[in-house]
């Protein structure tokens, strides 16, 4: 697996307290109970921390699923 | 090897130091079984900002300090509801530590947003208003609970409106923030056990562009950026470690390429680099910081593969050296492997292995110590020598909450201990040796001069400590004032040095019964019979002044207090009960117990007169 994919899965796993293997395309606020509005803020900070990027306001709202986070990170030049 | 999820998360957090690893550790710590042998630390967080992203990092710091975190999070901006009612869930939670996290803007929007609209008198009034609010919160908390409180001061988060002009003004934005923080410190100092988390300093270190996240301030009242979360949490961790006796106490140093540049055995006294010019200046700055630590009471020692004579020559004869022989509590300079040398040093100094920090420039030595002595914290000399000085301060490893006179004297005492060992070698029997030491003790009840040191001893003493109860200054003050309890302190000196205030006993009384709540002594006073004296004194006091007929003592095993396991039976107590996690011992009082005859005892006049 792509190292960035592993890293992103670990970020979500750490934050939402789930196994990294369970993180996939269906991972979103609909399937993860701990993904609420407060934790969404922590998620943005955790992603920025792990990938050393700064998300725009629009991007920070957009990242509402695992595939969408990947898409936003790709805009920052992170390869998946 | 322990591979519980908590242990794994701890190792990962120590190795990675990332937000993710800290978050995972917080999750693991929350799930750790409550019945385990990990002590719980209850932290209440009262706040007027969104601290949720910070909270897991604080919980991780609690876990890294060896405790299981339990958190009460006050409602957003509902501090008043929590502190004004004694029945509030906050007070009912009975926290062991209170964190008050305040952001300035909601408290004083004009001060932050429209400073320019304020006349100097208005600025002062606005500062008064904020300080008034903060003082009230602190007083209300203190009225309802005795736990230490950590409140933050306010950081700078933007450039001043007036640009270069601002710094010229007596009541500009720059001035008013500094003045406000000075006044917050005053308000904190007015109450016992209130401490400042220096957000101003943390933001200055990180820069407000890194630390302050305007996006989430606007969207969710969460002002801390991702780069600020771990440094802020670490500050709270340093408070926890200082309060709970987990701070480091001893620094063991390699010599070549750690204290100076080059190898003394090869380059010679003249060839090593230390002094005003690079790279010698990096080592000189490092040594200056070592002296600062020494003055704070950190014990310094050397462990080096070298000829002892070569190192001693540098210490005594090199004109540019800052560190000298007299700053050192001990050394092991030989060609043996370093783990054994460190073990021997730690034994000589009578300290715990987990209170040791070791610095070396060799990755091999660092890895060796990590493997052989995992409790020791290791620091590698950085490749970039200009960063050498800062490795000593970065993590706040040695942070304490007071610097007492004893701290300043401590290293001198270890030097005296070396001299005492010489006397011991020349004396005959042990008692003869004790008589030769010319011991003098003073026993009293702590006054304002002693309270900080007494509290510090309860927080820091791990080995000769029967119950390992930790008390704050406020707790001690209450115990002194309460007629149902007594606090005794013991000062000790001998013909070589004044050891200072080294032992504490806390006794609680009820009908005919005295209970020894705490009995502890600094390790440096061991082996002189001061514990016999203190116990005899408190037994006599209980019998003659409190009318007690029976005294109870308890031994509560902790990580490092094995040496006092049989203290009570040796003192003539008999087993009165066993509970999980403690044994209880009792003695009937009938006659006065005599004091050890090798110590000259003084009891201050005030103590005697009230008898």
Best residue in B19, B49, B212 to probe A by mutation, most A CBs within 10 Å? B19
Rounded to an integer, what is the distance from CA B463 to the centroid of its chain?
A: 16
Among B361, B329, B334, which Cα is nearest to B345's?
A: B329
Instruction: Write phi, then psi, for B72 (nearest 5 degrees).
Output: -110, 120
Question: Is the separation of the CB atoms in B135 and B129 below 8 Å?
Answer: no
Q: What is the pLDDT of residue B475?
A: 94
pLDDT at residue number B425? 63
Nearest CA in chain B to A8: B20
Please state, in angstroms and rounded to a whole number, the distance separating the CA atoms of residues B24 and A18: 10
3-state secondary structure of B184: helix
d(CA B381, CA B366): 10
Per the CB < 8 A criterion, the answer to whether B2 and B36 are in contact is: no
Q: Alpha-carbon distance B104 to B153, whole Å?
A: 9
pLDDT score, position B532: 92
Residue B384 has, within 13 A of its CA and on its CB side, a CA count of: 4
Q: What is the DSSP letter of A19?
A: -
* B39 SS3 class: coil
Burial class (CB in 10 A: 0-12, 13-18, 19+), B127: buried
DSSP single-letter state for residue B466: S
B494/B547 Cα distance (integer angstroms): 34
Please answer yes or no on whether A42 and B219 come within 8 Å at the CB atom: no
Does the beta-carbon distance from B24 to A46 stay under 8 Å?
no
* DSSP per position, B243-280: HTT-S--EEEE--BTTTBBS-HHHHHHHHSB-SSSTTH
SS3 B387: helix
Residue B438: predicted pLDDT = 86
Closest by alpha carbon to B245, among B457, B29, B502, B479?
A: B457
Question: What is the spatial distance between Cα B216 and Cα B213, in angstroms, rounded to a whole number?
Answer: 6
Among all chains, which residue has been given the structure tokens 């021997």? Answer: B344
Alpha-helix runs per DSSP H in B172-213? 173-189, 199-206, 208-211
Please enumerate in sequence order all residues whose Cβ is within 8 A of that of B427, keeping only pairs 6 or more positions apart, or say none: B433, B436
8-state DSSP, B564: G
Residue A15 to chain B, least CA–CA distance (Å): 6
Residue B422: its pLDDT value, please?
A: 63
Of B575, B596, B588, the residue nearest B532 (C-alpha): B596
Per-residue confidence band for B411, with pLDDT thresholds at 50, 70 and 90:
low
Contact assignment for A45 to B229 by CB distance below 8 Å: yes
Q: Which of B20, B27, B216 sits opposite A46 (nearest CB)?
A: B20
**Enclosing H/E stretch for A38:** helix A37-51
Q: Collapsing DSSP states into helix, strand and coil, what is residue B418? A: helix
Distance from CA of B216 to the nearest CA of A (A): 8
CA pair distance B542, A14, nearest whole angstrom: 56
Q: Outline where DSSP puts E strands in B355-497.
A: 356-360, 377-380, 439-444, 485-493
As a whole number of angstroms, the distance between CA B197 and CA B152 comes to 4
User: What's the rounded mean pLDDT across residues B71-98?
Assistant: 94
- List CB contacts (< 8 A) between A13 and chain B: 24
Q: Which residue of B has its CA nearest to A41?
A: B53
Q: B439-444 and B582-588: which strand pairing?
A: unpaired
Instruction: Dig out the tokens for B303 from the structure.
Output: 């462990």
**Percent residues over pLDDT 70 in chain B:** 95
Strands (E), B126-226: 149-152, 194-197
Contact state of B215 with A46 under an 8 Å Cβ cutoff:
no
Of A14, A48, A57, the CB nearest to B24: A14
Q: Which two tokens stand for residue B469?
A: 């109860």
Spatial separation of the C-alpha atoms in residues B159 and B494, rounded to whole Å: 58
The 8-class DSSP code of residue B596 comes to: P
Size of interface A-B (CB pairs under 8 A): 53
The 3 state secondary structure assigned to B275-327 is CCCCCHHHHHHHHHHHHHHHHHCCEEEEEEECCHHHHHHHHHHCCCCCCCHHH
**Residue range B75-96: mean pLDDT, rounded:** 93
Q: Give the per-residue pLDDT at B611.
A: 38
- Specify the pLDDT at position B400: 86
Distance between CA B11 and CA B3 in Å, rounded?
10
Match 């002002």 to its residue by tokens.
B223
CA–CA separation, B469 vs B183, rounded Å? 33
Quickly tell me which residue has 């701890």 as its tokens. Answer: B10
Q: Which of B267-271, B340-344, B535-539 has the lowest mean pLDDT?
A: B267-271
Summarised one tens digit per residue, pLDDT across range B224-236 is 999 999 999 999 9
CB under 8 Å to B207, separation ≥6 — which residues? Answer: none
CB neighbour list of residue B512: distance below 8 Å, 6 or more residues apart: B547, B548, B549, B550
Q: Which two tokens stand for residue B502?
A: 């080294």
> How far from the centroid of its chain's Cα atoms is residue B114's Cα?
41
Task: State phi, psi for B156 to the nearest 5 degrees.
Answer: -80, 135
Token look-up 């897991």 returns B56
Q: Are B252 and B265 in contact (CB under 8 A)?
A: no
- Residue B550 pLDDT exceeds 50: yes
Query: Tell me, what's the pLDDT at B419?
Result: 67
- Rounded to the nearest integer, the mean pLDDT of chain B is 91
**Model pLDDT, residue B437:** 81
C-alpha B551/C-alpha B542 separation (Å) is 8
**How many other CB atoms are there within 10 angstroms of residue B551's CB atom?**
24
Residue B517 near residue B507 (C-beta atoms within 8 A): yes
CA distances from B584 to B168, B551, B579 (A): 67, 11, 8
Task: Work out the percent of chain B whose per-residue pLDDT is above 90.
Answer: 74
Q: Measured between alpha carbons, how far is B536 from B505 in angstroms, rounded to an integer? A: 11
Distance from CA of A33 to the nearest CA of B (A): 15
pTM of the full predicted structure? 0.75
What string of pLDDT tens digits covers the 80 residues of chain A?
A: 799 999 999 999 999 999 999 999 999 999 999 999 889 999 999 999 999 999 998 999 999 999 999 999 999 999 99
| E strand spans, A13-73 | none
- 8 Å CB contact of A14 and B215: no
**B193: helix, strand or coil:** coil
Residue of B37, B11, B34 lying closest to B22 (CA atoms):
B11
Q: Are B337 and B366 in contact (CB under 8 A)?
A: no
A69 interfaces chain B, CB cutoff of 8 Å: no
Is the preceding peptide bond at B91 cis, omega within 30 degrees of 0?
Answer: no
Put simply, the chain A residues between 9 and 48 with a CB less than 8 A from any chain B CB are 10-11, 13-15, 17, 37-39, 41-42, 44-46, 48
Two tokens, residue B12 = 């990962």
Confidence of residue B609 (pLDDT cuts 50, 70, 90): very low
Q: What pLDDT shows up at residue B2?
A: 57
How close does chain A come to B573, measured CA to CA in Å? 51
Q: Is B590 exposed, middle or buried (0-12, 13-18, 19+ CB in 10 A)?
A: exposed
User: What is the DSSP code (8-state) at residue B465?
Assistant: B
Residues B557-587 have pLDDT tens digits of 988 888 899 999 999 999 999 988 899 999 9
| Residue B586 β-bridge partners | B552, B574
Closest by CA position to B417, among listed B525, B500, B546: B525
């Amino acid at each position: 697996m792509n190292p960035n994919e592993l890293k992103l899965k670990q970020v979500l796993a750490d934050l939402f307290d789930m196994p990294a293997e369970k993180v996939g395309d269906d991972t979103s606020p609909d399937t993860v109970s701990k993904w609420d509005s407060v934790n969404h803020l922590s998620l943005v900070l955790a992603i920025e921390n792990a990938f050393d990027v700064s998300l725009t306001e629009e991007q920070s709202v957009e990242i509402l699923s695992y595939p969408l986070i990947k898409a936003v990170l790709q805009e920052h030049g992170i390869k998946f | 090897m322990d591979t519980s999820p908590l242990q794994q998360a701890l190792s990962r957090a120590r190795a990675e130091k990332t937000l993710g690893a800290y978050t995972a550790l917080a999750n693991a710590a929350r799930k750790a079984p409550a019945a385990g042998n990990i002590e719980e630390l209850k932290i209440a967080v009262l706040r007027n900002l969104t601290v949720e992203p910070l909270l897991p990092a604080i919980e991780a710091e609690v876990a890294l300090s060896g405790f299981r975190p339990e958190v009460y999070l006050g409602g957003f901006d509902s501090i008043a509801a929590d502190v004004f009612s004694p029945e509030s869930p906050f007070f009912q939670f009975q926290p062991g530590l209170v964190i008050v996290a305040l952001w300035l803007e909601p408290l004083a929007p004009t001060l932050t947003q429209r400073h320019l609209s304020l006349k100097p008198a208005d600025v002062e009034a606005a500062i008064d208003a904020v300080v008034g609010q903060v003082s009230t919160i602190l007083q209300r908390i203190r009225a309802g609970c005795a736990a230490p409180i950590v409140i933050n001061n306010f950081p700078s988060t933007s450039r001043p409106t007036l640009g270069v002009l601002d710094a010229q003004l007596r009541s500009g934005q720059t001035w008013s923030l500094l003045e406000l923080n000075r006044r917050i410190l005053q308000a904190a100092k007015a109450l016992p056990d209130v401490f400042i988390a220096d957000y101003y300093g943390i933001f200055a270190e990180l820069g407000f562009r890194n630390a302050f996240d305007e996006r989430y301030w606007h969207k969710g009242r969460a002002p801390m950026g991702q780069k600020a979360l771990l440094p802020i949490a670490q500050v709270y961790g340093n408070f926890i470690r200082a309060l709970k006796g987990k701070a480091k106490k001893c620094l063991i140093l390699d010599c070549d390429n750690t204290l100076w540049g080059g190898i003394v055995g090869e380059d010679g006294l003249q060839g090593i680099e230390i002094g005003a010019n690079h790279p010698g200046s990096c080592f000189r700055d490092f040594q200056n910081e070592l002296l600062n630590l020494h003055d704070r009471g950190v014990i310094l020692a050397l462990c080096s593969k070298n000829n002892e004579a070569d190192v001693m020559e540098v210490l005594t004869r090199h004109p540019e050296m800052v560190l000298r022989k007299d700053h050192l509590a001990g050394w092991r300079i030989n060609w043996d492997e370093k783990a054994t040398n460190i073990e021997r040093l730690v034994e000589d100094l009578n300290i715990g292995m987990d209170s040791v920090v070791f610095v070396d420039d060799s990755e091999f030595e660092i890895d060796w110590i990590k493997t052989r002595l995992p409790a020791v914290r290791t620091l590698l000399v950085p490749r970039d020598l200009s960063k050498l000085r800062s490795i000593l301060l970065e993590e706040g490893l040695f942070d304490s909450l007071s610097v007492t006179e004893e701290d300043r004297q401590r290293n001198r005492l270890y030097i005296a201990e070396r001299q005492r060992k010489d006397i011991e070698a020349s004396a005959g029997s042990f008692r003869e040796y004790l008589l030769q030491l010319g011991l003098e003790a003073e026993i009293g009840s702590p006054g304002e001069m002693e309270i900080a040191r007494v509290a510090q001893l309860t927080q820091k003493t791990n080995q000769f400590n029967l119950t390992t109860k930790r008390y704050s200054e406020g707790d001690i003050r209450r115990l002194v004032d309460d007629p149902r309890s007594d606090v005794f302190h013991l000062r000790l000196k001998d013909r070589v040095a004044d050891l200072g205030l080294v032992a504490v006993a806390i006794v609680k009384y009820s009908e005919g019964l005295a209970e020894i709540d705490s009995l502890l002594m600094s390790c440096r006073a061991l082996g002189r019979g001061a514990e016999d004296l203190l116990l005899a004194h408190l037994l006599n006091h209980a019998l003659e002044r409190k009318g007690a007929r029976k005294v109870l003592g308890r031994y509560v095993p902790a990580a490092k207090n094995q040496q006092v396991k049989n203290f009570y039976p040796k003192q003539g107590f008999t087993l009165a009960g066993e509970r999980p996690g403690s044994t209880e011992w009792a003695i009937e009082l009938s006659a006065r117990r005599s004091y050890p005859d090798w110590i000259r005892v003084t009891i201050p006049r005030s103590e005697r007169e009230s008898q």
